[in-house]
Amino acid sequence: MVTRGGGDVADSHLRIPHAERGNRIGLFGGSFNPPHSGHRLVADIALKRLRLDQVWWLVTPGNPLKDHSGLADLGTRVAKVKQLAHHPAMRVTALEAGLGSSFSARTIARLKALRPGLSFVWVMGADNLAGFHRWQDWRGIMESVPVAVVDRPGATLSAVSAPAAQAFARHRWPEAAAARLAGAWPPAWVFLHGPRDPASSTDLRRRAEPGQEA
């Protein structure tokens, strides 16, 4: 047990999960502050529609683009994600803390180098695609792994018109081909429609503030 980001995190959560060579792995990163049913729905849709062997939840020490003043400690967030992501094909990790990486592009590069026998797909909600062009080396992410964007309430139109979506428009795959995305040579991305859950980490934090209704 070590202390990272203000909370205790088990050593096992800092290590790369086990997977068999040739496995198709969805990388689902975020602060998850707190995790909610909308996150779980994104992971479920990606697991099923992309025909993944596993989804790895990458609980980040802290999103470089967000204010950390209201960020729960890493150990607390990992524990909550474990409760939410209870599924035989889902692995909850804090491996970015273990790798010493706070940027998704670096994390992906390290994982590809350390686990070259796995096929990785970056998974994110459509609300993240809208601001994806502000991520460090976002083009590098698109060019290093296939990307799956899962629809989220209120983000459908803003996502598909986002700078990143426009920049890689000709590399967008038809949704019907999503099951083959994990084996694609990047850049390749798909937008997955389906059930949408209105849960929001921002709303949940606001409701938890003193004086706010539950």
Q: Supply the DSSP string of 109-178, one letter for each residue.
A: HHHHHH-TTSEEEEEEEHHHHTTGGGSTTHHHHHHHS-EEEE--TT-HHHHHTSHHHHHTGGGBPPGGGG
Is residue 48 domain-resident?
A: yes
Domain that holds residue 204: 2-208
Is residue 39 domain-resident?
A: yes
Is residue 213 domain-resident?
A: no
Instruction: Assign 203 a pLDDT band (cuts: 50, 70, 90).
Output: low
For residues 42 and 182, what is the distance between their CA atoms, to the nearest angstrom? 16
As a whole number, the mean pLDDT across the chain is 88
For residues 206 and 201, what is the distance between their CA atoms, to the nearest angstrom? 9
Give the CATH number of the domain where residue 83 resides: 3.40.50.620
Task: Give the total number of structural domains in the chain.
Answer: 1
Per residue in 132-179, pLDDT (tens digit) is: 999 999 999 999 999 999 998 876 777 788 999 999 999 999 999 999
Is residue 214 domain-resident?
A: no
Per residue in 36-52, pLDDT (tens digit) is: 999 999 999 999 999 99
Is residue 85 within 8 Å of 92, Cβ to Cβ? Answer: yes
Question: What is the structure's pLDDT at 65?
Answer: 52
